[in-house]
Structure 1
Amino acid sequence: MDEAAPAPRPHPSELHELIAVLLLSLVAVLTAWCGFQASQWGGNSSVAFNEASDARIDAASFESEARDARALDLAVYAQWVIAEAQGDEDLADYIEDRFSPEFAKAFTAWEADGRVEKGPFALKVYVPPGTEKSVAALADADAKFQQGIDFNDKSDRYSLMTVLFALVLFLSAIAQRGISLLASRIVLGLAGALSLIGVIALLTFPVTF
């Protein structure tokens, strides 16, 4: 009985074309993945920047609230100073009863300290309403802005990878054209090396969905 004939070994050019097709398919998928990730991170960046803008608007609103409260406290305090200077204790007491809670706290501390400072407004204990919220909103705005920059940087990195893989696609396509086998292998090898570098880099990139 005749022995089975060994399967014919693929011709070098056929193997070469197979590798090129596999590389094209893999890189096409990676390019699509990079485009998707770039889009996702870009969207996250836009959201973060919008939230930072909203937080700054809130901070400005709270700061305006604090400024108005301080102006009102200052106006009332000015009347108290006048009454105190004129020795009208009844009027001074009447005005004191109408101090805002925040200013009353500072006024009490000022008197307890022997009125060493130039006025209650100089004390750290005086915090008009809206001040703390304004500071918190500004801090949130800064954090969101930095987050937006970070997301945008990640989007740019993925976009750069799409350029790299586009180059790999170009080289892989050139390798299948009517050039010498040696030149085709060199071009395909370069494409494979670039794709390997791209894959290694992608493994270090963060992913979002």
Structure 2
Amino acid sequence: MPMVDEPQATPAETGWYRHLDLVATVVLAVATVLTAWSAFQSSQWSGVQAAAYSAASRERAESNRAQTLAGQQSIIDVMLFTDWLDALHSEGDTVVVPDPYVPDPTVYSGFLFERFRPEFRPAVHAWLAEEPLTNPAAPPSPFAMDEYVLASAQEAARLEKASDRSAATARLAIERKDNYVLATVLCASVLFFCGIGSKLGSPRRRAVMIAIGGAVLLATLVVVLTFPVHF
């Protein structure tokens, strides 16, 4: 009887080639999950960015209002202090007065002194104690004294620093969001390589495409694991 040749197995049916579909499926599954995770984290960090920039804008506006108030209070202090000195001069007194200075409410200088703001009075008393008319080392005015402190100016400085911190947080969130967006793009390339590879007829070409996709996925996964997460 004549010999009948048995059908030869194709390369796709022998060796490791027969596992290509399984490998491609696993790579696609991991890439899909990683894409979803990266997109989720990107949206989360986008929310952090928006909240931080909103806080920075609010704190900057509040800082400007506090700084404006501090400027207005300084003008009031300067004007009252100047009028007080003029009143002392017109009354024939001198700026060198007993310490502590006790204003006389029956005269104009005392009337003005009583209307000094509470934040300004300690600086005036400290300045008068330095005997500025006879002491060359004395500060030129109460406004140069350490005792002259404006709460509104301190609040403005605090809010400005808080605004800078919020802006820095927003910039950091942008950087992290962009990193996750890049990871999403890389995962999309993995889907591309594996999708194209599954359509190729040559097992070797399929293997090459899937291998490229797997390498990109592995590198992306390693990098993503180093990224901070936010919930």
Q: TM-score, normalised by structure 1?
A: 0.91
Query: Deviation of residue 112 (structure 1)?
Result: 1.1
Please show how residues 55-204 of structure 1 align to structure 2 within 5 Å.
55-88=59-92, 90-115=107-132, 116-204=138-226
Q: Tell me which of 22, 25, 31 is aligned to 1:21.
A: 25
What is the distance in 2 between the residues matched to 1:100 and 1:129? 12
Q: Counterpart of 2:34 in structure 1: which amino acid?
A: L
Distance (whole Å) between structure 1 residues aligned to residue 35 and residue 191 of structure 2: 9
Match of 2:50 in 1: 46
Note the C-alpha offset of 1:14: 3.5
CA 1:10–1:181 in 2, change beyond 3 Å: closer, same or farther? closer
CA distances 1:9-29 after superposition (whole Å, capped 9, x unpaired):
976443101110111111011
Name the SS of the counterpart of 2:199 in structure 1: coil
CA RMSD, Structure 1 to Structure 2 (Å): 1.6
In structure 2, the residue corresponding to 1:204 is in which secondary structure?
coil
Mapped partners of 2:92, 2:40: distance in 1: 75
Comparing 120-129 and 57-66, the one that deviates more: 120-129
Q: Please, which moves more after superposition, 18-27 or 124-133?
A: 124-133
Cα distance in 1 between the residues matched to 2:88 and 2:227: 69
- What displacement does 1:81 show? 1.4
Report the residue type matching 1:159 in the other structure.
V
| Contact 1:69 1:129 (8 Å CA) reproduced | no
Structure 2 gaps of 5+ residues are 1-12, 94-106, 133-137
| TM-score, normalised with respect to structure 2 | 0.83
- 3-state SS, counterpart of residue 102 of structure 1: coil
Distance 2:200 2:221 in 1: 29
Cα distance, 1:119 vs. partner?
A: 1.0
Task: Tell me how far apart the structure 2 counterparts of residues 124 and 50 of structure 1 sit (CA, whole Å).
Answer: 35
The answer for the alignment partner of 2:7 in structure 1 is none
- Matched with 2:99 is none
Amino acid at match of 1:48: A
